[in-house]
Amino acid sequence: MLISLSEIMNTTDKVENISAPIEMDTFDFQGDSYEFVRKDPVDITITNLGDRKVMIEASTKISLTLNCGRCLKEILHPMEIQFSKEIDFNLTGEERAQNLDETNYIVGYDLNVDTLIYDEILIDFPMRLLCNENCKGICKNCGINQNEGSCDCDTTEYDPRMAQIRDIFNNFKEV
């Protein structure tokens, strides 16, 4: 959803409250697509600070379906997004880049709500998420979820530095 900021910027000390829906169906990141289980409308407050400056404050609650980093079980990950940023329209795109101002959600005088929410999800996105602290993961050999049951696979891990010596012994075994 695009929100025009030009009308707000033309009226001094104007404050506008907007409830905007999140139009994204999924959150796409690094080739994976994560479904929204919950996506509340974004409550946005836009305040004209004068001198071509605007304060944008936004908040919402969402929940994504993610996978456990060990056993790949689907888990619900709730997120509460709070955003507050002052935008100075006196600066050019190059000046914003020099100040490391990453306002890709501002296009001309329009605020792109989906891009703003995408960026905030990206900032808070977990590197690795576990279904519980004691998750045992999946078996490397047969792929069974070890939280739900056990398998009879050989789980002996050998020191890779001893591989050549182990090969010598395996090749010269007496029958």
Asked if 57 and 84 touch (Cβ cutoff 8 Å), the reply is yes
Question: Cα separations (Å) of 56 from 28, 122, 134?
Answer: 25, 19, 41
pLDDT at 100: 62
Question: Which residues are registered as beta bridge partners of 57?
Answer: 45, 84
Domain edges within the chain: 2-124, 136-175
Has this prediction a pTM greater than 0.85? no
pLDDT at 101: 65
Other C-beta atoms closer than 10 Å to the C-beta of 63 total: 15
pLDDT at 104: 80
Give the pLDDT of the chain (175 residues) as one tens digit per residue.
Answer: 888 888 888 888 888 999 999 999 999 998 889 999 999 999 999 999 888 889 999 999 999 999 999 999 999 999 999 999 888 888 776 776 676 666 788 888 888 999 999 999 998 898 888 999 999 999 888 888 888 888 888 777 788 888 888 888 888 766 4
Containing 95, the helix (H) or strand (E) segment is: helix 93-98
- Residue that has been written with the tokens 């078996």 in this structure: 139
